[in-house]
Structure 1
Amino acid sequence: MQERNERLFYKLLIDNVEELLPIVYTPTVGEACQKYGSIFRRPQGLYISLKEKGRILEVLKNWPEKNIQVIVVTDGERILGLGDLGCQGMGIPVGKLSLYTALGGVRPSVCLPITIDVGTNNKKLLDDEFYIGLRQNRATGEEYAELLEEFMSAVKQNYGEKILVQFEDFANHNAFELLAKYRTTHLVFNDDIQGTASVVLAGLIAALKVVGGTLADHTFLFLGAGEAGTGIAELIALEISKKTDAPIEETRKKVWLVDSKGLVVSSRKESLQHFKQPWAHEHEPVKELIDAVQAIKPTVLIGTSGVGRTFTKEVVEAMASFNEKPIILALSNPTSQSECTAEEAYTWSKGRAIFCSGSPFDPVEYDGKILVPGQANNAYIFPGFGLGLIMSGTVRVHDDLLLAASEALAAQVTEEYYAKGLIYPPFSNIRKISANIAANVAAKSYELGLASRLPRPKDLVKHAESCMYTPVYRSYR
């Protein structure tokens, strides 16, 4: 339908967002990427391969739409929790941009999905006769960096300073480097690092109304120290730092990380990747998650490991033993990789957990009460965030814009939702939520002097709503 009748596709998606979101996005998009070669009918989006090195600007100019405002780009190396899917990762930029339009009201014609094909290390795909990408192992090092450098320059040359480039599903080592390298020269956003962080922070701010205290009163333990884990950890530390005026080096001490080798501690500092080093605190080494939980006694347990069933009965019971309302976020996607299910979290905590997941779970009946698990879905944040950047003509993404987005989302959770145990508002209101996030992000951008669309509109929420694309059929009679 998206290919045959775009307007109807978006109308259907907007009117039935809660039902259709899992089909357009997580978890179905993961399966679509796995089978992309066998279900491929016609190209969607733009493929840029190693073979086009030296001619990327020319390739971009071949795209029929000239006025592009948002690019979502992947190299397919780390698709959800499914690993290297190479060129078949195109499902992700296509799906994300559908949500930019449906949930954030960004016009479909200004969106461009791009997959950069540098090969794949997935042997199964290389041997698959239906694989649509380059049949070679991944290019790395200088060859890879040069291709990305040419791509980023060409994008700016072709579309100007205000083009938003969203990096999606790059492997850890590339994701952090690309974000660090281009955040000072381009308008870039990494959804896995920054979008996930912003949506989780919003849930935590909202959860404070249920558990009490401020963020600074809580202790956070992560299972998983990759892009998502360290991104969320950094944003939590930044928010505590902003609210308490404490230096960020101090506030980071409220956050602990567990990776595949155990608790990230200072005695391991020499062998740690650079993005884990700020989280290496003084503590004796701890190997297992359950021992880390018992040693640190966190109030919040967050899973970003990509490994299913790691929040065991023992772990959840330990959390419930020293917290009246343990906050348990099992964020890994798709559903099969979730650290625990909603039912497990509620049953093992005797119905006391505040539970949230990355993929959707059905409501659970426990002890005669219906408990509704929240979904910490990036789709709450990035469409509104992107709209806010576009409508204000923002030229760089500042961390304060992410905090503004989190606070705007948390403010949308009403008493009625808290009563059901929810720390996120329902997706049925997503366009209203996105307009509020966009307005908050734009306001912060104007305040920081990063916005170039002047004069600043008086009512930013109304302005956001007026900028939103709405698929309607015109009446000709």
Structure 2
Amino acid sequence: MDDAGEIPGGVRLLHDPLRNKGTSFTLAERRALGLNGLLPPRVHTLAEQERRVLGNVRSKSGDLERYLFLIALQDRNETLFYRVLMNHIEEIMPLIYTPTVGKACQEFGHIYRRPRGLYISLDDLGQVADVLANWPHPDVRVIVVTDGERILGLGDLGANGMGIPVGKLSLYTGCAGIAPEHCLPVTLDVGTNNESLLGDELYNGLEQRRERGASYDDLVAEFMDAAQQQFPGVLIQLEDFGNRNAFRLLKHYRDLACVFDDDIQGTGAVALAGLKAAMRISKGKLEHQRLLFYGAGQAGIGIGRSVVAALVAMGISESEARQCCWYFDSQGLLVSGRSDIPEQKQTFAHDQQAIANFEDAVEVLQPTALIGAAGQAGVFSESIIRSMAEYNQRPLIFALSNPTTKAECTAEQAYQWSDGRAVFASGSPFAPVSYAAKKFVSGQGNNAYIFPGVGLGVLASGSTRVTDTMFLAAANCLADQVTAEDLQLGRVYPPLSNITEVSALIAAAVAEVAWEEGVASVVRPDNPLAAIKAMMYQPVYPHYA
């Protein structure tokens, strides 16, 4: 049935991706719904359709072609798309999200097929509510919104950034069972400063430079107000905004709406979980670590804030906790003597002599962990990793930048240059590595371990806000799911094949925080985990006749 309760028939039903079953419509359904003759005569099971899709995906010549095939499937048959994704998450997730989605966003105007999501541009000022009212599904519960300024590690892609909200929401469904009709991708088109896009006749966005003034804030404010009016209680995830806007928008709206920033809070939580699990390999303690970040943007600062929050929860003072986190950015080591330090960085500026070279910073600070979050490929060089292995029996090397082409080092490099002693994690997936007769399966510190479960927990509890305590609970829960077998392989995250179960457990932990902090609007059930699992979407076809 559609949202009004009517069952569309004939071609309308075949063109409705939420209800289309393709060749799985039974003979009785075909007669009742006016589909006779519109489909080949043989009826196929969902499992048979799944095998057909996998055969097609695996026959494609490259990952971008696989992405296009899968998005086309999503456009015509959401149930089958999610069946394939959920049953083959380790194979399919890298094709619909990182790393492939980065290339898809770069080529978005040239590979554009059918619209997905809503584009809200500066031309819509004063009419944003009308734009949102055009969305055909009234029960939206999660919105992922971007302005396209900082797409992965690729920079300003403007309206081409729509691939990110689309991909993120696919993971809300595929990883945490939030039904696709409850998900809305949004791009705020405020222009772009990407010269190649401005000169590209196939670019789909506004042909103007990026707005930096009052009109930008007016559009964001109108969107936030209209979204809450149109979809009461909606969870809004801020995604891939530039540094100049991400921190201030989160600070401004976090107490006005049910909102979070995945690049700051989600990345912080997933990295914290990896660090906590890594302590079980290195036999260290989190409070004794010295973390050196390459990059002090949203991801780096978000991780630092999460580490500080975890240490404070352990009884350590905030000033002591901040001493564990050191940053190297575009101006060198972040030190207190520097002028014009942005607000979000100020608490991490330490009293230390300025150092302009990253390798020198490693030598002086002798950190226990390197965390890459600036999208600078190869910055964790052989000499740097060999130095880390001299200072540490089990050096922590977290090359978290996305996509794969932006990784600070590869898994193979980390293991080889550390003589097999590195504890390695990355943002994008790397193949297993064999070194010195040992097999290493590195962990992927992907936010998909965190944000879907957080979102599910918010919806399950009816939380009116998203708090930092929720992300701390999510990080602790994720770290607890790492088994001894995972650690033996060098993996500090559970396998992606377990992500649905992990998301449910995180959702339960997040919902408990909502009830404890008094921000929930749903009465706590006797068994929250069972209630959460019962509400999770399953990719099965409905029966129409």
What band does the TM-score fall into relative to the shorter chain?
A: over 0.9
Deviations 1:323-381 (CA, angstroms, capped at 9, x unpaired): 11001000011111100011110000000000001011111110111111111000111
Query: In 2, Cα distance between the equivalents of 1:224 and 1:331?
Result: 11
Q: 1:184 aligns with which of 249, 255, 274?
A: 255
Choose from 466, 486, 504 the match for 1:417.
486
**How many Å apart are 1:271 and its aligned residue?**
2.1
SS state of the match for residue 255, structure 2?
A: coil
> Which structure 1 segments of 5+ residues have no match?
none
- 1:260 paired residue number: 330
Provide the residue aligned with 2:143 in structure 1: 71
3-state SS, counterpart of residue 450 of structure 1: coil
Question: Deviation per CA, 1:293-335, whole angstroms, max 9, x where unpaired?
Answer: 1111111110001110000111101110011100100001111
Structure 2 distance, partners of 1:51, 1:350, is 57
TM-score by length of 1: 0.98
Alignment partner of 2:128 out of 56, 60, 74: 56
The SS at the match of 1:140 is coil
Q: Which of residues 219, 235, 257 is equivalent to 2:290?
A: 219
Q: How many pairs were matched up?
A: 473
Identity of aligned pairs, percent? 52
| CA deviation map 1:215-234 (0-9, x unaligned) | 11211110100000001001
Q: TM-score, normalised by structure 2?
A: 0.86
Q: In structure 2, how many angstroms separate the alpha carbons of the residues matched to 1:255 and 1:132?
A: 41
**Runs of 4+ with deviation above 2 angstroms:** 473-477
- Give the deviation of 1:246 after TM superposition: 2.7
CA distance in 1, matches of 2:405, 2:363: 26
Cα RMSD over matched residues?
A: 1.1
Which residue type is aligned with residue 386 of structure 1? G
| Alpha-carbon separation, structure 2, partners of 1:476 and 1:109 | 18
2:91 pairs with 1:91 = no
Aligned partner of 2:234 in structure 1 is: 163
Aligned to 2:185: 113
1:446-468 Cα offsets, whole Å, 9 max, x none, are 111111101x0122211111110
Map of 1:354 onto structure 2: 423
Cα separation, 2, equivalents of 1:124 and 1:263: 32
Which residue of the other structure, out of 424, 428, 437, is the alignment partner of 1:368?
437
Query: Post-superposition shift, 1:420?
Result: 0.7
**1:334 paired to 2:414:** no
Deviation readout 1:138-175 (Å, 9 max, x if unpaired):
11121111111111111112112x21100111101110
Q: Secondary structure at 1:165's aligned position in 2?
A: strand
Q: Which moved more, 1:459-468 or 1:424-433?
A: 459-468
Amino acid at match of 1:180: K
SS in 2 for 1:77: coil
Q: What SS class does the counterpart of residue 473 from structure 1 fall into?
A: coil
Compare relative contact order (CA 8 Å, sep 6+) and give the higher one, 1 or 2.
1
Structure 1: distance between partners of 2:544 and 2:470? 42
Aligned counterpart for 1:310 among listed residues 365, 379, 393: 379
One of 453, 457, 462 as aligned partner of 2:525: 457
Aligned-partner SS, 1:280: coil
Question: Shift of the alpha carbon at 1:9?
Answer: 0.2
Residue 201 of structure 2: aligned partner? 129
Of structures 1 and 2, the larger Rg is shown by: 2
> Distance between the aligned counterparts of 2:429 and 2:208, measured in 1?
36
Matches of 1:4 and 1:337, distance apart in 2:
33
SS in 2 for 1:328: strand
Deviation digits for residues 75-115 of structure 1 (CA, Å, limit 9, x no counterpart)? 11111111111111100000000000010100100100000
Alignment pair present for 1:141 and 2:213: yes
2:341 equivalent to 1:272: yes
Q: Which secondary structure state, in structure 2, belongs to the residue aligned with residue 207 of structure 1?
A: helix
Q: Distance in 1 between matches of 2:129 and 2:264?
A: 28
Tell me whether 1:233 sits opposite 2:300 in the alignment. no
Query: How many angstroms apart in 1 are the aligned matches of 2:374 and 2:310?
Result: 23
1: distance between equivalents of 2:357 and 2:163? 36
Say which of 197, 202, 205 aligns to 2:276.
205
**Partners of 2:405 and 2:499 in 1: CA distance:** 26
